[in-house]
Structure 1
């Protein structure tokens, strides 16, 4: 069985480019076939991953977006200290607005999320089925 992979976007980003990257993700996801609430949910999840990488991670920070086997897949990576296990296992959002804690929870509810994290960095993989 052959798996069709189509690369849509690959680049490095920093704080000053988050808005531009979000727009590129929106355009690419729309071109891949997402629309309506599915598009909005995917872009919001990716935006949360981007802002978390800028806020908590270290450079270089990368994003890659592609389609594979009927899914739209986005990976956001950074070289920071990793995500604490307690932050990954929350079944509810943090109640402290000043310290964050909602991004990972929200991503998990909007898309399929996979996390690889450790002392040398984090990669978040966000996936959604294409129509």
Structure 2
């Protein structure tokens, strides 16, 4: 893991650091003011984005988190091939027999989600409202 400058959390990650990233996201989100179910939901949504970046994206993979006046924002980026349109357009999760296919669906239910994707990579932005 290579630490980048600025914000609550900013670093590059790989498969070996997913657990450490989840811990850092939890601590940073708590310090920003999230607690209880809101904290758990946000951490799970970010974890899904990080896991997808490791599974489907290519390096460099990065995560940045910062606080805005009424929101906690986290961006997860990778330089992979982008998310296929059929995955982005899916309104229901994959069936229980499919391996995977629930990450974006879950992220969209746990946090405010914005996806920018294309052949140069993907950015997942997740936001949680702060009280």
> Does the pair score TM above 0.5?
yes
- Aligned residue number for residue 16 of structure 1: 16
The separation in 2 between residues aligned to 1:128 and 1:29, in whole angstroms, is: 9
For residues 16-68 of structure 1, the C-alpha deviation after alignment (integer angstroms, 9 at most, x for no partner) is: 00000000000000011100000000000000000000000000000000011
In structure 2, the CA distance between the partners of 1:74 and 1:97, relative to structure 1 (3 Å rule), is farther
- Aligned residue number for residue 87 of structure 1: 87
Q: TM-score, normalized by length of structure 2?
A: 0.93
1:93-112 correspondence runs (5 A): 93-95=93-95, 97-112=97-112
- CA root-mean-square deviation: 1.2
Q: TM-score, normalized by length of structure 1?
A: 0.93
How many residues in Structure 1 have an aligned counterpart in Structure 2? Answer: 126
The separation in 1 between residues aligned to 2:126 and 2:87, in whole angstroms, is: 17
- Aligned residue number for residue 40 of structure 1: 40
- Aligned residue number for residue 117 of structure 2: 117
Of the structure 1 ranges 84-93 and 45-54, higher mean CA displacement relative to structure 2 is found in 84-93
